[in-house]
Chains A and B, each alone.
Chain A
Amino acid sequence: MQLFLESLFNGVAIGSVLLVAALGLAIVFGLMGVINLAHGELMMLGAYSTYITQLIFKQVSFLKPFYDSYVIVAIGIAFLVSGTVGILLERTVIRRLYGSPLETLLATWGVSLILQQFVRSVPLAYASGLVIALFFGLFSPLFISDDLLHGAKGKLIRASTWGFSALLGVATGGILSSLVSKLSRASARNVDVTAPSWMRGGIDFVGITFPKTRLLIILITLISVLIVIFFLDKTAWGIRIRAVTQNRPMSDCLGISTETVDIITFGIGSGLAGVAGVAVSLLGSVGPNVGGNYIVGCFMVVVLGGVGNLLGTILASFSIGIMTDLIGAGRLLTIWPEMPSPLYSTIDFFATTSMARVMIFALIVIFLQFRPTGMFPQKGRMVES
């Protein structure tokens, strides 16, 4: 029983890291059909946001008493940062490439390289300044009444909001770099997020240690999934997104602004990548390549679950998680030590992290031979196909 619980917990823990990372992709790739290879780098931006938030909470005197809760603030910030960069990416690159998946793949891969090099060679203080400038530049028109944005005066107002945002960005960059010296120099070094003390260590329960960071990641994943499901099922924009997914020209005819839907979908997907970045930063170190390590896993989860199906993504990530633990940790050997020796040695051979990965990939390939569209294929005819 204890063994079962422990294995289940580990599987869920591994699965929830996969799930939180794949959730954004499930929306972007699953709903919009955009192959976004820069998804990992959007996660990386989320991880760096956590790092910067942590430093700010450590350095600024009036925030110090709240240091213990910086992770929660970081989740919000990471969502906004990755969401902003994602929207910029959608507006500048992806929008021009809808309907040409190969070009999208190459272009987003290029963007991922740019983003990696960007965090290596730009001081983080100025990088945050740039993101803040982009954030206000992109979103401030939403808060200005539409009448003011038309005509010659509108152009002037738009330009001045960008100017104001740029100033704000420069100011933020300057303040941050003078406040936190670690952020004022560019560095290719990996950095570290240290969990506040209440999140370190584990909880002992029925003889098993549950690491607190893992519990927190499971919680973050759970909340993100619930919010996404609620958003897609119950809100007006969620319903519009699903309508556009199912039939873009018809939705367009019925008066749904597909362009806005694209922006919102991509923004949310990217923002979720940022949230995943926070989770990942709690487990390991934060570096330019941190997101790249997850991207293959994310696509695997989405494809296995069935493109465009959230439930499939959830089930797929948990089954991969549980399989990783079952095979990689050699659980079967502990459960059934008297198994016939050829079987024993085979399972023992795969009971390492490297071989478990091979095994899981092989199993997924076999599974996809029988169910090419994943666990839960889209029902009915899609317009595109």
Chain B
Amino acid sequence: MKLSKRIFAGLATASLAVTVTACGGSDSSGNFDDTVTVGILHSLSGTMAISESTLVDTEKMAIEEINAAGGVTVDGKSYKIEYIVEDGASDWPTFAEKSKKLIDQDGVPVVFGGWTSASRKAMLPVYESKDAFLYYPIQYEAQECSNNIFYTGATPNQQSEPATDFMYKRSPAAGGDFFLVGSDYVFPRTSNTITKAQVKQLGGKVVGEDYLPLGNTEVAPIISKIKVALPDGGIIVNTLNGDQNVAFFKQIQDAGITPSNGYYVMNYSIAEEEISTIGPEFLEGHYGAWNYMMSIDTPASKKFAKSFKKRWGSDRVVADPQESAYNMVYLWKQAVEDAGTFDDNAVREALVGQTFDAPQGPVEVMANHHLSQTVRIGEINSEGGFTILEETGVVEPQAWNQKHPSSKGFACDWTDPKKGEKYRM
């Protein structure tokens, strides 16, 4: 008797501990009929941790908001969302491992995760083979359309194409020649292939391109090349990654490649977070293109920034990747409620056509599992934000880019079983 009592007490403590861990972070209390546990999978250690941890913060905030508003209602029952956070450790195979763990062991209905294209490519086979569902929040090079991934970041036609158009037609360097700089991996190379095709269509000229190996910060040869190729100023399209930007902007300024000398840099990887690290004094007068910018002057945008600062500290900023992460949690919630079940296949069907009043404005899930969204061009100002210069209407996503030679004429449609991943339009 004594023994069984002890075992019972031990079990009770253990289960209490489990409940406490599982509830970690969600502090809302309310009356729920049940709970549902979702997976969050980003790098919390290693080189990508700096960027990816901001997404974890945003996703936690979105989940807390939903719980505070009554949770997810499925079939008349209200569910509280709980989450398990796994660390991808900036190591791509780890992302695949942890995905398997979340799906098989924890049985989560959905995983929010990833940042780099390499991590997504590593996870993709796992989700396809297990027919599970991954929500991926980052602007990326597209040329991919999986039935098991839902992409809430921009495709190139929702970022680089309007940006190239702006630079060539309406920027102070309009009509000038282009020089393309990027880190040496898949996103910059694909993005620049598209930019080259587009510049050619516009009647402009790309006079040079160069890629810096990841980790290398010696940009002197690139600067020499820019000066030879663009002696009197021009347009530089920059897809460098992370801290390589710091080296690049510090050194081009010293070398006289500045807006006042007629050189304008359009950036695809620099958001508010990066501006504050690089320093606005190096970036002022250059441009960026995103779907969301913190300076958007709408109540939804202000509320998003305000609640994030309230939850995580007044010195924090919100940027485009975080907004995408925020949207995907809400879109999943809506789809689950419409489907009336957590079952993957039903949710997937319910997801297409969902609309959401995002901080950037209305977004809609399209048949190719990407979002239609607004594109904004901003000039970087001395306060470390963007002064928004242009806003397109809502742009539909192209999973297969129409300017890239390998995917021209193709599209993706998961609502029609005959079309699927890649069909000729």
Contacts and interface: CB of A to CB of B under 8 A. Distances in A.
Interface of A: 6-7, 10, 13-14, 17, 188-190, 192, 194-195, 200-202, 204, 209, 211-214, 282-285, 287, 289, 292-293, 324-325, 328-331, 334, 351-354, 356-357
17 contacts: A10-B220, A190-B246, A192-B277, A192-B278, A200-B253, A214-B220, A283-B218, A284-B244, A285-B247, A289-B47, A289-B215, A330-B225, A352-B211, A353-B218, A354-B212, A356-B221, A357-B216
A211 B251 contact: yes
Of the listed residues A14, A190, A329, A330, the one surrounded by the most CB atoms of chain B closer than 10 A to its CB is A329
Nearest to A17: B218
Contacts of B251: 211, 213, 283
A169 B217 CA distance: 34
Interface in B47-93: 47, 49-50
Contacts of B49: 188
Interface residues of B, number: 34
A355 to B, nearest CB: 9
Interface in B180-213: 184, 209-213
Nearest to B221: A328
A192 B246 contact: yes
Contacts of A192: 246, 277-279
A201 B258 CA distance: 10
Contacts of A357: 213, 216
Contact of B277 (A10, A190, A352, A354): A190
Contact of A211 (B228, B254, B281): B254
Q: List 9 A-B pairs, minimum CB-CB distance, nearest first.
A: A284-B247, A211-B254, A328-B221, A285-B246, A329-B224, A284-B217, A285-B243, A329-B221, A209-B256
Contact of B220 (A14, A293, A351, A352): A14
Contact of A353 (B50, B213, B250, B278): B213
Interface of B: 47, 49-50, 184, 209-213, 215-218, 220-222, 224-225, 228, 242-244, 246-247, 250-251, 253-256, 277-279, 281
- Chain B CB within 10 A, most for which of A188, A201, A285: A285
Nearest to A197: B281
Of the candidates A13, A284, A330, the one having the most CB atoms from chain B within 10 angstroms of its own CB is: A284
B217 A283 contact: yes
A189 B246 CA distance: 13
Contacts of A334: 228
Contact of B255 (A194, A202, A329, A353): A202
B239 to A, nearest CB: 14
Contacts of A285: 243, 246-247, 277-278
Contacts of A17: 218
Contacts of A351: 225
B243 A329 contact: no
Given A190-B277, A285-B243, A354-B211, A329 B228 contact: yes
Nearest to A356: B221
Among B247, B254, B256, max chain A CB count under 10 A is at B254
A353 B254 contact: no
Contacts of A212: 254
B112 to A, nearest CB: 22
Given A190-B246, A192-B246, A352-B210, 8 more contacts: A211-B251, A211-B254, A213-B250, A282-B250, A283-B247, A285-B247, A328-B222, A354-B184
A205 to B, nearest CB: 12
Given A201-B254, A284-B250, A285-B247, A353 B222 contact: yes
Centre residue among B49, B212, B217 by max chain A CB count within 10 A:
B217
A195 B279 CA distance: 12
B56 to A, nearest CB: 14
A104 B182 CA distance: 37
B224 A189 contact: no
B202 to A, nearest CB: 24
Contacts of B254: 200-202, 211-214
Contacts of A289: 47, 215
Contact of A190 (B50, B184, B209, B256): B50
Contacts of A213: 250-251, 254
A287 B278 CA distance: 13
Nearest to B247: A284
A80 B280 CA distance: 32
A62 B278 CA distance: 28
Contacts of A201: 253-254, 256
A292 B216 CA distance: 10
A354 B279 contact: no
Contacts of B213: 353-354, 357
Nearest to B217: A284
